[in-house]
Each structure stands twice: as structure tokens, then as C-alpha cells.
Amino acid sequence: MGLPAVEVVDLVKRYGAVTAVDGLSLTVARGAVTAVLGPNGAGKTTTVECCEGYRAPDAGTVRVLGLDPVRDGHRLRPRVGVMLQQGGVYPSSRGTEMLRHVARLHAHPLDVDALVERLGLGGLGRTPYRRMSGGQQQRLALALAVVGRPELVFLDEPTAGLDPQARRATWELVEALRADGVAVVLTTHHMDEAERLADHVVVVDHGRVVAEGSPAVLTTTGAEDALRFSGPPSLDLAGLLLALPEGCRASEPARGQYLVEGPMGPQLLATVTAWCAAHGVMPEGLSVGRRTLEDVFLELTGRELRA
């Protein structure tokens, strides 16, 4: 396994009176995808910016490829790719011409034509960045982050606002990077993205890690299958529990959203719907299945992940 790609220990970062990151520790393995999940304002971007060397920690340590990203920034730059949320590309840059230029600055760049094809950037040869659509700008920023064949890439919400086809192309590129041994750190609000792509998920809230593990471990730890529905807030869950077999759990992780966990089967489903009927509650969006990362997240933070 060797040295991790990133090692953050007890990181603290404040903006005046706001403590954006509050004692956060995480490790990013090489050749794996690590997703950092969390609600708005959780401290994801600040953490990533400390790893990128854009911000100096107030306390704690950050090591990237064994180096200090602030002090050794010049040594890390050719080895680390960064895709920022807001482009980070000069507005006058011209499409794939810019990409070819950046590729020439690197010793072993990726094949530009293949990258252009993969991300659907053909036909943008001299189009100025500012004239591109949001999705095109995003895909170009991604291409610029990876064209130098970095050992580590940071992707901040790489698929936000992309159409399904571009999203899929981005996912396939991330998978290809991992297969090439690249360490990928991505921040996202999309549970399905984390479940599909990540080997390791780090859930951040209030500037701290509240849970971490593989998607499979996070979704199976401590719970059986789940039944979910939404309805009016503050239902009498103690009453519902009395109707359920022993060992079941019922909770309202977010206002008006209910989660029943226990040995799932037709009997449990019938008991819950009968209880709802007896209380005049229409269980909207009723579903049964494995817990999703979204459920785990709601339970941990009481908040929806999406903005």
C-alpha cells in the first residue's frame, strides 16, 4: 500500500469567528476513490483547499504525497490535479487549444485527443472559455485537472449541473484514473455518485468526520433492511413501535421522513401500513430495501445532503 496519498490529522481552520474545520482527520489511499460527503457548510471545500495548499491550517497537519502542500507547493503542482468548483480557468482560454498547451507542459501527459473524445469536448478548439456552456466549462476544467497524468486529483463537485450523459462520461473517467493507480478525492452532494464511485466515503459535518468506510460497510453497519416513507411530521413513533415486533427501530431522521428498521418481510410491511391506516396517515413514497448512504447521512446529521 505504501504511503497514503493524503494524510490529514486534527486539522483546524477558522475564518474569524467561524470554525470551518474542527479537528478533522482523514486518509486518502493511492489508487482509490475517496468521496467526501457533507451538507452545505460542513467544511469539505476548506479541507480540500488545505490539501491543495491554498490555505494554511490553524492547527493540525496535512501531508500530500508525503509533502507539506503549503511549503512544498511547487514540488506538488506537477503531481497533483485540481478541479475547482468555479472553474479556475482563465476566461479567455480557448477550448481544447488550452488543453493541448497544458499537456505540453507535462512530461507524460494523457492523450489529448482521447480525452477530448471521452469528455465530448470535440468542436471546442478555439471557443473561449467564457462562451462555453456551464457543462462544457466543467468538463474542460476536469480535462485540465487530469491531462498531466497526476498521481492525485481533487475534484470538487465534478458532476454538479451536468446532464446524465456528461455525468456518466465523468464517472467513466474517474474509474479509468483509479485503474491507472491515481488517487481521486471528490466532494459531492450526490449519494448515488458516492455509492457508485467511491472505495472510501468520509462523511463530514460541522467540520468533523462523523462516519467513514466503504459504501457497503456504511450502509450495512448497525442496521437491517429499512422501510421508508414520508408523512406528517412528529408521528407517534413510540406507538408505532408497540405495534412492531420486538427489536425493530423506528425513527424520524428528518422532519416528516420515517425510517423503520428490522427483519423486513410482508408482515412488517403490513403492520406499518395498518398502523398508518389506523392513524389516518398516507405513507407517501413508501419503499423497502437496503439502507442507502442517504439514510445513513440523514441519521448521522439529521439533514438532507443535497443543497
Give the residues lining the site for ligand ATP (CB under 6 A).
15, 18, 20, 38, 40-46
In the complex with ligand ATP, the residue whose CB is nearer, 186 or 250, is 186
Cβ closest to ligand ATP, residue 15 vs residue 90: 15
Q: In the bound complex, what is the minimum distance in angstroms from residue 13's beta carbon to ligand ATP? A: 8
CB of 307 to ligand ATP, least distance (A): 7
**φ, ψ at 202 (rounded to 5°):** -115, 120
Instruction: Of 45, 12, 14, 299, give the one whose Cα is nearest residue 188.
Output: 45
The distance of closest approach from Cβ of residue 14 to ligand ATP in the complex, given in angstroms and rounded to an integer, is: 9
Give the integer Cα–Cα distance in Å for 148 and 144.
8
Minimum CB separation from ligand ATP for residue 53, in Å?
16
What is the smallest separation between the CB atom of 12 and ligand ATP, expressed in angstroms? 12
Output 18 or 277, the one with its CB closest to ligand ATP. 18
Identify which of residues 106 and 306 has a Cβ nearer to ligand ATP in the complex.
Answer: 306
Give whichever of 22 and 225 is closer to ligand ATP, judged by the CB atom: 22
CA distances (Å), origin 232, targets 59, 84, 198, 249: 44, 40, 34, 19
